[in-house]
């Protein structure tokens, strides 16, 4: 009887056996035409953590996020998101991951609401309309719901892009410089969203050039310099000066 | 056990029509592709008509070629736009981050292109009939244009995506597409000619178009992921 119970537990809930790291990256190399953008990065992120990725321009932050989002195939090394390999199990990763890149990835000739409905349908959400309306309200875009995206301001489009990334309530949310173009009110909203995700045990990884904000939000930090991980670990005790010192040290190396 | 594949198939079906709906909705709003494609098709027909000073027998020989040249040139304008609307760093980044099978994206793009090109053809055909005084507005023209259009859209979706990642995509798209749609051009022109001269018999040409469409759609649906993914 007890053996049966054990076998059933193994069959039904494989994730219950050992909860995998939210993100696990090992010896990741990504090269474009033999030009390496990432040079053997290794790090992992605890489930429910907020990871802030720091780095000067050209450090490889966007390339790393794109690789995590299955948009860039690793040249060497492995990446797992939620326990799924981004190359062999890309579909599973995409189901569980939200990605908001440099570009908002929304369609300019559709309205804000039509965009969210489209993405809800792509994820097969049954309550897509309700979810879209709730997110529009959350992002303070209800008044703009029926307006075409091309008429929205940069900040409004960025908020809509955030709503798009959250439409399927992903386990892992990847945000590439989400604070770009946002006003103070929207920035506060963004910070609240990230804090709420952490409280719910959902993982967020973001890049930013604003060191203070990045450190305030982070429970874990990764600093990339020249495609290498100059620091990977808890964000507690890490200061903006220390991050800048890593930039300078990496730049001089 | 059986629920997962059927749920996957249902989701794929919904995703297919979601992409088609999204593309058509955007196109209906802007009319960017339709306007330019329609005007280009009509202009080509008018120019051919006046350039050749056609007599009755010449019209039957030259007309089908002029009709399909106008369709093909106009189609290329729309094919590139349909792909580049998805573009960011990669050729179709907006869709690539989503949990959607790449063959579903490909088929959705083909369907969207077929609908847009067909709308242009519906405007161009009556103009062609009037200018060239040819009895083209008959039922048999429907399978000919449909099969020809599917062939163009099937090749176009694949190679416009391939060219989208290059700087010279506007130049490269027609350069890649035109040689590959030669069987469609031959089949469609001959089948259209056969409408006016029943001695040819239209069956072999429609068969060629159908076979071409099936082969291209099958191969491209499988290989599309290698075109759009890194």
SS3 track for B49-77: HHHHCCCHHHHHHHHHHHHHHHHHHHHHH
SS3 A63: helix
pLDDT at A57: 92
pLDDT at position B56 is: 61
Model pTM greater than 0.80? yes
Query: How far apart, in whole angstroms, are the C-alpha atoms of residue A34 and residue A36?
Result: 6
Mean pLDDT to the nearest integer, B126-148: 92
Q: Once rounded to an integer, what is the mean pLDDT over residues B60-76?
A: 90
Which of A99, A101, A107 lies nearest to residue B22, judging by beta carbons?
A107
**Is 90 exceeded by the pLDDT of residue B219?**
yes
**Per-residue model confidence (pLDDT) at position A233:** 94
The predicted pLDDT at position B89 comes to 54
Among candidates B14, B85, B97 on the partner chain, residue whose Cβ is nearest the Cβ of A71: B97
Question: How confident is the model over A99-151, as pLDDT tens digits?
Answer: 998 777 889 899 999 999 999 999 999 999 999 999 999 999 999 999 999 99
Q: What percent of chain A clears pLDDT 90, i.e. is strictly above it?
A: 80
Q: Report CB contact under 8 Å: A109, B25.
A: yes
User: How crowded is residue B10: how many other Cβ atoms within 10 Å of its Cβ?
Assistant: 11
Strand, coil or helix: A46: coil
Coil, helix or strand at residue B133:
coil
Dihedral sign for Cα atoms in the order B106, B108, B114, B120 = negative
Name, in order, each residue with C-beta under 8 angstroms of A127's C-beta and a sequence gap of 6 or more. Answer: none
Confidence category of residue A9, pLDDT binned at 50, 70, 90: very low
Chain A residue numbers with beta carbons less than 8 Å from the beta carbon of B26 are 107, 109-110
Q: Characterize the bridge pairing of strands A50-54 and A220-225.
A: parallel
Q: Tokens 């310099």 — which residue?
A: A225
Residue B181 has pLDDT above 90, yes or no: yes
Partner residue facing A121 (CB), from B18, B26, B93: B18
Binned at pLDDT 50, 70 and 90, residue B50 comes out as confident
Average pLDDT over residues B220-230: 89
What distance in Å separates the CA atoms of residue A16 and residue A18, rounded to the nearest whole number? Answer: 6
* Chain A residues whose beta carbon lies within 8 Å of the beta carbon of residue B85: 107
Half-sphere exposure of A29 (CA within 13 A, CB side): 10
- Can you tell me the mean pLDDT for B174-185? 92
Average pLDDT in the B159-174 region? 82
Average pLDDT of the segment spanning A205-225: 95
A139 and A189 Cβ atoms separated by less than 8 Å: yes
At residue A3, does pLDDT exceed 80?
Answer: no
For residues B14-25, average pLDDT: 94
Q: Are B124 and B75 in contact (CB under 8 A)?
A: no
């Amino acid at each position: 009887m007890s053996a049966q119970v054990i076998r059933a537990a193994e069959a039904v809930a494989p994730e219950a056996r050992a909860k995998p790291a939210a993100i696990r990256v090992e010896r990741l190399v990504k090269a474009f035409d033999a030009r390496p953008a990432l040079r053997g990065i290794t790090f992992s992120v605890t489930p429910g953590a907020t990871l802030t990725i720091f780095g000067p321009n050209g450090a490889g932050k966007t390339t790393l996020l794109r690789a995590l989002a299955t948009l860039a195939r690793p040249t060497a090394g492995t990446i797992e998101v939620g326990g799924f390999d981004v190359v062999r199990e890309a579909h599973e990763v995409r189901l569980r991951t939200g990605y908001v890149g440099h570009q908002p990835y929304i369609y300019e000739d559709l309205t804000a609401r039509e965009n969210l409905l489209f993405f809800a349908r792509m994820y097969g959400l049954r309550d897509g309309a309700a979810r879209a309306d709730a997110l529009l309200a959350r992002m303070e875009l209800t008044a703009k719901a029926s307006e075409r995206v091309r008429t929205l301001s940069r900040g409004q489009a960025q908020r809509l892009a955030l709503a798009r990334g959250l439409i399927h309530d992903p386990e892992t949310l990847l945000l590439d410089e989400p604070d770009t173009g946002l006003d103070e009110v929207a920035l506060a909203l963004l910070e609240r969203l990230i804090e709420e995700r952490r409280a719910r045990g959902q993982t967020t990884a973001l890049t930013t050039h604003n060191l203070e904000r990045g450190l305030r939000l982070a429970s874990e930090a990764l600093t990339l310099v020249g495609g290498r991980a100059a620091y990977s670990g808890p964000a507690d005790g890490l200061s903006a000066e220390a991050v800048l010192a890593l930039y300078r040290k990496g730049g001089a190396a | 056990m059986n629920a997962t594949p059927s749920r996957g198939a249902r989701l794929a079906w919904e995703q297919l029509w979601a992409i088609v709906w999204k593309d058509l909705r955007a196109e209906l709003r802007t009319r960017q592709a339709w306007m330019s494609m329609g005007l280009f098709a009509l202009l080509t027909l008018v120019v051919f008509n006046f350039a050749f000073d056609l007599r009755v027998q010449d019209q039957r020989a030259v007309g089908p070629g002029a009709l399909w040249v106008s369709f093909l040139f106009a189609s290329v304008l729309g094919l590139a736009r349909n792909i580049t609307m998805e573009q960011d760093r990669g050729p179709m980044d907006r869709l690539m981050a989503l949990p959607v099978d790449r063959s579903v994206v490909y088929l959705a793009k083909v369907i969207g292109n077929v609908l847009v090109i067909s709308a242009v053809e519906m405007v161009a055909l009556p103009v062609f009939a009037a200018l060239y005084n040819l009895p083209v507005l008959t039922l048999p023209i429907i399978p000919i244009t449909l099969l020809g259009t599917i062939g163009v859209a099937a090749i176009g979706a694949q190679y416009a995506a391939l060219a989208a990642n290059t700087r010279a995509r506007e130049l490269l798209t027609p350069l890649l597409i035109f040689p590959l749609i030669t069987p469609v051009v031959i089949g469609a022109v001959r089948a259209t000619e056969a409408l006016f001269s029943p001695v040819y018999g239209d069956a072999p040409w429609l068969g060629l178009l159908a076979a071409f469409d099936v082969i291209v759609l099958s191969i491209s649906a499988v290989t599309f992921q290698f075109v759009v993914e890194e």
